[in-house]
Amino acid sequence: MRLLVTGGAGMLGRAVTEAATRLGHEVTSLSRAELDITDADRVRRAIGAARARAVVNCAAWTDVDGAEEHEREATATNGAGAGNVARAAEETGSRIVHVSTDYVFDGSKTTPWVESDAVGPIGAYGRSKLAGEQEVVEAGPGHAIVRTAWLFGAFGRNFVDTMLELGRERDEVSVVTDQVGNPTWTVHLAEALVELAERDGDVGVFHAAAAGSCSWYELAVEVFDRAGASCRVRPTTSDRFPRAARRPAYSVLGTERDEAPSLPTWQEGVEGYLASRAVGAR
């Protein structure tokens, strides 16, 4: 299958490119420098030239706090930009797999969010990503919108790397217990996105995140335990770490769709990522 990946230089885009290549697909991967998805004409030309059977849109504004001050710019990429990609894919008959987020929900539930739950983002980033979902839906029926959560992986800043760095520098760290989600390794998500790209008949919104859930505190404990770090993790709450953007308290994604991809547990993701880091360090 011929596949086009936008945002190909990012943390998730690289993982999708590697997964698709490993599975034998012919992949064109375009970085933001090569394709700014806010430029509708360039997007149309690039997708037309690629002649891809499917397009996986990993291009996104991912600075959650920065989006509070720059919501227009975030929405230009996450909203209108997503629409540019989806419309160009529709024009060329390509399937579009668009990546969205748990932040489209307000975090008020205490059971996993499913695809039919009412959306209600509490911050600019979530609003920008919801705008993108709406643009993709309006572009045509042949889409898969994939909501995921709490990504970590190679080629980008992420919580696991931050904890490992702090663990080398400090004897203890304080991490919040009042935010809960599904920490998802990009490699596991990438394989799910490629799988959905192959499945023309499965359309609509899908939730795809690691099985199981934990708080950021529990994730830090798991990371230090598996890495053999002696750094102590102290529990704290979000009010001790004020940030520009509010985070949903409960971001756990579940699914009500039999067709939704099934991902390994978040613990398996942590184990796999740490093993890949160890290999890369040799």
Beta strand 2-6 with 54-57: parallel, antiparallel or unpaired?
parallel
User: Which structure tokens are listed for 21?
Assistant: 């290549």
Q: Which of 103, 125, 217, 273 is catalytic?
A: 125
Beta strand 95-101 with 184-185: parallel, antiparallel or unpaired?
unpaired
Distance between CA atoms of residues 181 and 254, nearest Å: 10
Provide the edge-to-edge strand list for the sheet that holds 204-207.
26-30, 2-6, 54-57, 95-101, 143-148, 204-207
Q: Catalytic annotation on 250?
A: no
Say which DSSP state 259 is in: T
Determine the straight-line distance between the first and last CA of the chain, rounded to whole angstroms: 34
From residue 218, give the alpha-carbon distance in Å to each of 45, 70, 174, 178, 181.
46, 32, 11, 11, 11
From residue 161, give the alpha-carbon distance in Å to each of 47, 182, 209.
34, 17, 19
User: Which structure tokens are listed for 204?
Assistant: 């609509």
In DSSP notation, 71-127 reads HHHHHIIIIIIHHHHHHHHHHHT-EEEEEEEGGGS-S--SS-B-TTSPP---SHHHH
**Catalytic residue ranges:** 125
